[in-house]
Amino acid sequence: MRKYIFLSAIFYLFTNSYAQTKEERLKISSFSDKIANNKLSIVLFNNEINRKVRLNSFLSLNPNYDVKSRVEENGIQELIDVLPTGEMIFAKTYNEGAGITARANRLYNGGTLGINIQGQNMIAGIWDGGNVRNTHQEFVTGSTSKITNMDGSSPAEHATHVMGTIIAKGVLPAVKGIAFNASGISYEWNNDLGEMLNEASNGLLVSNHSYGFGSLSSLWFYGAYDSRAKDIDGICYNNPFYLPVVSAGNSRNDTTAPGSIQLGNKSGYDMIFGHGNAKNVITVAAVGQVDNYTDESSVTMSSFSSWGPSDDGRIKPDISMKGVNVRSTLSTSDAATGFMSGTSMASPGVTGVVLLLQQYYNQLNSNYMKAATVKGLILHTADEAGDDYGPDYKFGWGLINAEKAAKTIKNRNVTTANKTIIDELNLTNNTIYTKTITASGSSPLKISISWTDPQAPTANSGATDPTTKYLVNDLDVKVTKNDTTYYPWKLQGMGATFDAATNVSTNNVDNFERVDINNPSGTYTITVTHKGTLSGGSQNFSLIATSDNLSTLSTNETLLATDNKVDFYPNPAKDYIKINEKEKDLLINIFDISGKLVLTSKLVDNRISIGQLVKGNYLASFINKKGEIKSFKFIKE
């Protein structure tokens, strides 16, 4: 039996290949960790077998149980699992204006950006409560449909509406999708994790998930980093170009337990569950249509969209998008359209924007962005929403702005004052990354890092509101100018959900961090470090920086070892430091906390003078004759 499972899992993993182009999909696939994917595929395969056994056992004892039922308007609820504890797990959907709200229309042919980005040759994947009506006029050209249904389930209203929001052609202009020239593949939600792994390993860039899995009888699911969140993080980490976009949920209008109980206990906060709490996805809140954004007052929160945080205090949802009265395709006929509201309608708008941004970046750079980059770009360029500046647990980082994100891509390669930085980098264990820039202007200097974090070693399986942190590789970004240090935004978790975000210390829970500096002027040093030991020995991360007048002062980005294997004294030190090294004439480089080189001194009689340094923390580094980088931290009194 074990051999059968292994072979089935491997066969499943390497079938069904699609492409933006075949060559592009193969290139993306080459970055996937095939060994890790094989191992995860076996785990997911066995989990799926066990789920079916549990469900079939329950149904054999309850033959009249209605497994799938309609909920809300055109929504679906399906019993998907029965845990050994008896908890019943359900999959539940979250039931032209979207393009305007996201400013995606400005990327189209004839738009204000002067480009022609409409989803050409791009592919969207969706998982939902049924298949898409692929014969709908919005998906067909001649006798050919641009939708491929991957399993035998029946067409569903909800799935058809979701897909139309992403890629409807615009036969009826009012239902034109965000990426209307793209095509799509559609799966029913049973065995979604195994299918997602398969598609990700074969080069799929983005998928939409307008549903959630959770118990309708237990409070602990809300905010929990459960096994689904953990598994999806594993899929994303193994396949660094793959980005799932998920809806935050509609639990703020629940009138039945446990949703109504949670709503009463938490005032609308801590309502997101399942894969919405994964670290490596984009979780989307639903807001009303925004015809002309002027400031945060332009963005109105819906009455239903679920608010964060996750139990460990991470910023969820990540971003906001129109999800109220969205008109799109329906499955009742080949010309049917209709209105729906819900975070289910918001997340496909973001999925469409991801397709457009990936297409544009590839057009300019001949390669696609990693998932962490495009996610970071969307969060970096979001428009402010909510009562206070910075992120919050209602709107996330704000309202998505495809135009601003596209401009950031466009200006990456320019040498003018509007230059932007989008760099994909790697931080190895015990190193510090620095980059020195100049910036000025009335718009804030914004500097972000984003990374796809490994799945946490454990998941929550029943505890209510634990504060366990699930961030594995904890990177930190800060920006310094002279004696001033600027820190990233951070929220304070369930104990302070109403409080505004702060930026007075490092962030130790989120895998996206952003530093905002108002009215920048002068030279700034960006420093990226990490806490503890990096899982896997290193961590890929993306650096994004924007300002009115931004330029890189120097291109020699410095990596400094911090392995702390040097015998030295005293510490703290006032005038000198003695280093117990046998080699003579070693050249010692000393850096301040921003990573700036402040002193180079030759080691004489195992001693270096530091009296000229100002008080503070420093790092000293040298290379011995073996080529080994050694370093140590010290305090100057």
What is the set of domains in the chain, with CATH numbers? 2-406 (3.40.50.200), 418-558 (2.60.120.380), 562-636 (2.60.40.3580)
pLDDT of residue 84: 87
Q: Given a cut of 50, is residue 19 above it in pLDDT?
A: no
Least confident of 58-72, 202-216, 392-406: 58-72
Average pLDDT in the 116-139 region? 95
Other CB atoms within 10 Å distance of the CB of residue 469:
15
% of the chain beyond a pLDDT of 70: 91
Residue 82 neighbours by CB under 8 Å, 6+ apart: 54, 55, 57, 58, 88, 89
Gap between the Cα atoms of 426 and 538, Å rounded: 7
Least confident of 194-208, 354-368, 417-431: 417-431
Handedness of CA 166, 171, 172, 174 (dihedral sign): positive
- Reported confidence tier of residue 632, pLDDT bands at 50, 70, 90: confident
Residue 620's DSSP bridge partners are: 590, 632
Cα-based distances in Å from 41 to 14, 388, 390, 461: 11, 43, 39, 21
The closest of 424, 427, 374 to 536, measured between CA atoms, is 427
pLDDT of residue 313: 94
Q: Who wins on pLDDT, 601 or 545?
A: 545
pLDDT of residue 11: 32
Gap between the Cα atoms of 53 and 48, Å rounded: 9
> Which amino acid, residue 102?
A
Gap between the Cα atoms of 27 and 19, Å rounded: 10
> Which one of the listed residues 29, 32, 81, 128 is annotated catalytic?
128
pLDDT of residue 600: 82
Mean pLDDT score of the chain: 87
3-state SS of 395-445 is: CECCECCHHHHHHHHHHHHCCCCCCCEEEEEEEECCEEEEEEEEEECCCCE
Q: Who wins on pLDDT, 178 or 483?
A: 178
Gap between the Cα atoms of 531 and 426, Å rounded: 15
The closest of 212, 224, 216, 217 to 463, measured between CA atoms, is 224
Average pLDDT in the 381-388 region? 94
Question: Reduced to 3 states, what is the DSSP secondary structure of residue 323?
Answer: coil
Q: Beta strands of 288-407 (E only): which ranges?
A: 319-322, 326-329, 337-340
- Going by DSSP bridges, is the β-strand pair 243-247/282-287 parallel, antiparallel, or unpaired? parallel
Burial 269-294 (b: 16+ CB within 10 A, else e): bbbbbbbbbbbbbbbbbbbbebeebe
Residue 128 known to be catalytic: yes
Residue 270 known to be catalytic: no
Other CB atoms within 10 Å distance of the CB of residue 388:
12
Average pLDDT in the 561-565 region? 57
Tell me the pTM: 0.84
Q: CA geometry: angle at 482 spanning 479 and 483, to 5°?
A: 85
What's the token pair of residue 340? 């729906």
DSSP code, position 611: T
- Reported confidence tier of residue 16, pLDDT bands at 50, 70, 90: very low
Residue 344 known to be catalytic: yes
- Reported confidence tier of residue 434, pLDDT bands at 50, 70, 90: confident
Answer yes or no: are the C-beta atoms of 504 and 487 closer than 8 Å. Answer: yes
Average pLDDT in the 207-223 region? 85
Gap between the Cα atoms of 391 and 377, Å rounded: 15
The closest of 577, 625, 629, 628 to 603, measured between CA atoms, is 577
pLDDT in tens, 451-510: 999 999 999 988 999 989 999 999 999 998 888 899 999 998 877 766 788 988 899 999
The closest of 344, 347, 327, 326 to 336, measured between CA atoms, is 327
Average pLDDT in the 588-606 region? 81
- Going by DSSP bridges, is the β-strand pair 75-82/68-71 parallel, antiparallel, or unpaired? antiparallel
- Reported confidence tier of residue 2, pLDDT bands at 50, 70, 90: very low
User: What is the separation, in whole angstroms, between the first and last Cα of the chain?
Assistant: 67
Q: Given a cut of 60, is residue 17 above it in pLDDT?
A: no
**What is the chain's Cα-based Rg?**
26
Q: Given a cut of 70, is residue 5 above it in pLDDT?
A: no
pLDDT of residue 75: 63
Widest CA span in the chain: 87
Question: Reduced to 3 states, what is the DSSP secondary structure of residue 263?
Answer: helix
The closest of 467, 513, 440, 362 to 19, measured between CA atoms, is 362
> Which one of the listed residues 136, 158, 161, 530 is annotated catalytic?
158
% of the chain beyond a pLDDT of 90: 55
How long is the chain? 637
- Reported confidence tier of residue 150, pLDDT bands at 50, 70, 90: very high
Other CB atoms within 10 Å distance of the CB of residue 498:
11
DSSP code, position 271: -
Average pLDDT in the 285-310 region? 93
Residue 40 neighbours by CB under 8 Å, 6+ apart: 197, 231, 234, 235, 238
Q: Given a cut of 50, is residue 320 above it in pLDDT?
A: yes
What's the token pair of residue 50? 């066990």
> Which one of the listed residues 251, 344, 448, 594 is annotated catalytic?
344
pLDDT in tens, 228-270: 999 999 999 999 999 999 999 888 877 666 767 777 778 889 9
- Reported confidence tier of residue 3, pLDDT bands at 50, 70, 90: very low
Answer yes or no: are the C-beta atoms of 613 and 593 closer than 8 Å. Answer: no
pLDDT of residue 511: 98
Gap between the Cα atoms of 347 and 341, Å rounded: 11
